[in-house]
Amino acid sequence: MTSVGVPIKILHEAEGHVVTLETVTGEVYRGKLIEAEDNMNCQMSDVVVTFRDGRNHQLDNVFIRGNKGAIGMGLGGLDQIRGGRGGRGTTFRGGR
């Protein structure tokens, strides 16, 4: 059994939340992440897709293959996904 990396773990934690995904062709999908697989395949619902020319389109469900998407995931409010633990020691500073 292989272990998954941190980006895949974050992607799984985002399931059930609204995310923004940009494909390699420049289309931007924003909607609720229903399921994410270890190969980065993503199933989303209630999606608004913005095409490269600026047009928007509403879609009920979308499946984006892992090698076509996820240039970047907009996970605004990642602290809310993790439970929103505030306070001392929650800021990543790098180093050891």
Q: Note the pTM of the prediction, 2 decimals.
A: 0.71
pLDDT of residue 74: 60
pLDDT in tens, 8-63: 888 899 999 999 998 988 899 999 999 999 998 999 999 999 999 999 999 999 99
Question: How far does the chain reach from its first CA to its final CA, in angstroms?
Answer: 29
Is residue 1 domain-resident?
Answer: no
- Domain membership of residue 16 (yes or no) is yes
Report if residue 79 sits inside a domain.
no
Take residue 86 and report the two structure tokens written for it: 């505030």
Q: CB neighbours of 61 closer than 8 A, spacing ≥ 6?
A: 34, 43, 44, 45, 47
Q: Does residue 95 sit within a domain?
A: no
Which domain CATH number covers 31? 2.30.30.100
Instruction: Provide the residue range defining the domain that includes 63.
Output: 6-74
96 located within any domain: no
d(CA 9, CA 63): 19
Domain contains 86: no
Domain membership flag for residue 19: yes
How many domains, the chain?
A: 1
Is 91 among the domain residues?
no
